[in-house]
Amino acid sequence: MKKFAITAGLALAVTLSASAMAHDENHGYVTNSNGAIWKTLGGCLKHSSWTDADSAACDGSTATPAAADAAKKFAVFFDFDSATVGNVSQIADYITGLATTPGVSLVGHADPIGDNAYNMNLSQRRAVNVANALTQAGVKPSSISVDYQGESAPVAQCSGTGAALISCLRADRRVDVQISGKS
């Protein structure tokens, strides 16, 4: 019974604060005193006046979808002991299609096979080669930043030896591409 009373009290408090905290710029959602929408694990907390027309504000933007902030991640994968870049046209098309010049962050990685210094150099070559490929595909070089981490940020969980290990570690042989801009 005590848990029910606490839950009921919390629901009442949220309802009362929802009435007091409705802001015009985020109509239909419960907001804090700064006008930011309250979010829960289930999504944005809706106010009793919410309608389908209010759904665009839940992404944190009150602007039209055409001017929304864009943040997208890609990964470019490599063969074992290689810095040869494959096709990056999909990434370049996305970047050049943004309304504003984006920031493009490239971070090179290597698998843990081999010497640490060699892997650091390999991850650097991979990131630089992706930057060059994107530049050749029409991305402005001034928007690209390059970093590399060698084998220090693995994502694959592998065991074994030989070809099976090399195949399993493919996810670690990558350049992470993070793009921010306006779509």
Band of the pLDDT at 49, cuts 50, 70, 90?
A: low
Residue 121 burial (10 A CB sphere; 0-12, 13-18, 19+): middle
Q: What are the b/e assignments for 46-59, b being 16+ CB within 10 Å?
A: bbeebeeebeebbe
Reported pTM: 0.63
Q: What is the pLDDT of residues 95-146, one digit of tens each?
A: 999 888 789 999 999 999 999 999 999 999 999 999 999 999 999 999 999 9
pLDDT at 63: 30
pLDDT at 95: 93
Inter-CA distances, 37 with 15, 28, 29, 63, 89, Å: 15, 10, 6, 14, 37
pLDDT at 71: 78
Q: Which two tokens stand for residue 99?
A: 């309304």
Average pLDDT for the chain:
77
The residue among 177, 174, 80 whose CA lies nearest residue 134 is: 177
Of 171 and 7, the structure prediction assigns the larger pLDDT to 171
Could you give all domains of the chain from N- to C-terminal order, each with its CATH number? 2-62 (no CATH), 66-182 (3.30.1330.60)
